[in-house]
Amino acid sequence: MNIVLLGPPGAGKGTQAKLLREYFGLWHISTGDLLRKSIADGTKLGSQAKEFIEKGDLVPDNLVVELLKERLAQPGIEKGFILDGFPRNDAQAGILDAMLKKQAIVIDYVLYLEADEPIIIQRLSGRRVCKNCQQNYHVTNMPSQKDGICDTCSGLLYQRPDDREEAIKNRLLVYLRDTKGLVDYYKKQGKLLKVDANFDAPIVFDGLKKVLL
């Protein structure tokens, strides 16, 4: 079972990917993680990606696809995977399909996690990060023991600027705009499955299992 995971920021993609990985034994392939790892390992693709990032440019699609290709060529891939972070638009989906076709790999399902704006704002605007060790907290869902202080290192907790309400609304608009073509692309292929992600993670995961099984 090969899955592409889509959904706006705050829909809970990371948590659901983890649950999917554990339940179905799938690989979780996050292109963000792949990029960071290739840069840290100093691979050929990693050093190419680093040049773009250092210039403040986006890493080109073909480079991300090359990284994915390497990852998908590793043994164990037949168990299936969850792809997270790519594609982000219909052009990238086309490039991905062309690459997968050569490797005789098919995307079976595209899961789209849908959550309402007030829920997303509640989730993201409550997020706090430790200035010192980067640990994540949430003011209601996962508070620190002492208000504003990190449990692990006593560092100060702060709200990232893009987790403020206005910034969240803007991130949502950008996401919806950029993924409109992508959603249509997978809808046409008959692979798109929408999942209501307005609930707590275990309930969302139950809904997700229901559409997959």
Give the separation between CA 32 and CA 142, rounded to whole angstroms.
24
Q: Which H/E stretch holds residue 5?
A: strand 3-6
Give the separation between CA 71 and CA 43, rounded to whole angstroms.
13
Check binding of 53 to Zn ion (CB under 5 A).
no
Q: Determine the length of the chain.
A: 213
Strand ranges (DSSP E) for 67-176? 81-84, 109-114, 127-130, 136-138, 157-158
Check binding of 151 to Zn ion (CB under 5 A).
no
Q: Which amino acid is at 156?
A: L
Name residues contacting Zn ion, limited to 105-134 (CB under 5 A): 130, 132-133
Among residues 88, 191, 194, 209, the one annotated as catalytic is 88
Which CB sits closer to Zn ion, 23 or 158? Answer: 158
Would residue 128 show up in a list of annotated catalytic residues for this protein? no
Q: Which amino acid is at 196?
A: D
| 92 labeled binding residue | yes
Number of H helices, E strands in the chain: 8, 8
Q: What is the dihedral of CA 131, 137, 138, 140, to 10 degrees?
A: -120
Question: Minimum distance between the CB of residue 139 and Zn ion, rounded to whole angstroms?
Answer: 16
CA gyration radius, the chain: 18
Would residue 127 show up in a list of annotated catalytic residues for this protein? yes
Q: Which amino acid is at 18?
A: K
Question: Minimum distance between the CB of residue 133 and Zn ion, rounded to whole angstroms?
Answer: 3
Among residues 101, 131, 160, 210, the one annotated as catalytic is 160
Selected from 150, 168, 182, 192, the binder of Zn ion by CB under 5 A is 150
Question: Minimum distance between the CB of residue 163 and Zn ion, rounded to whole angstroms?
Answer: 17
| 42 labeled binding residue | no
User: Which residues belong to the active site?
Assistant: 13, 88, 127, 160, 171
- Give the residues lining the site for Zn ion (CB under 5 A): 130, 132-133, 135, 150, 152-153, 155
Feature table: binding site for ATP? 10-15, 127, 199
Feature table: binding site? 10-15, 31, 36, 57-59, 85-88, 92, 127, 130, 133, 150, 153, 160, 171, 199
